[in-house]
Amino acid sequence: MASTTTKKSLFTIRKKKRAKHPQVIVDANKTKFKSMEITHSKKSGKRKNIHLKKNPNSEDSKEAYIKKQIIEDFKFQYSKAFKNYNLSNADIDELKRYLDTKKKK
């Protein structure tokens, strides 16, 4: 999917309808978002999750991780961007490195 959104909408955090965990938007087009789920678990099944240096939720002191699975769904399935959730610059850089290696495969 070719990205046609502004950089401002990427790496925002939203909640998907019928989901327990917030999602980080990693790509978008006119009708769909690609996202990755934020969790407190070190692993999802047998896969290790990406460790975040700082929890995006400023009110939560627990360790945070992002699942490596990328989910694609229509934009109307997501809420508006959360104001009190922010990824640190170091976490965004780490996520960009992971996504670059994912695209090369």
Amino acid at position 62, single letter = K
Kindly report the CATH number assigned to the domain that includes residue 60: 2.30.30
- Report if residue 83 sits inside a domain: yes
Dump pLDDT digits (tens) for 46-75.
Answer: 999 999 999 999 899 999 999 999 999 999
In a domain, 2, yes or no: no
80: in domain: yes
- CA angle in degrees (0–180, nearest 5) for 8-9-15: 140
Distances from the Cα of 52 to the Cαs of 5, 11, 42, 46, 64, in angstroms?
24, 13, 10, 19, 6
Please provide the average confidence, as pLDDT, over all residues in the chain: 89
Residue 4 maps to a domain: no
Residue 93 belongs to domain spanning? 13-104
pTM over 0.75: yes
Spatial separation of the C-alpha atoms in residues 83 and 5, rounded to whole Å: 19
Residue 82 is assigned to a structural domain of this protein: yes
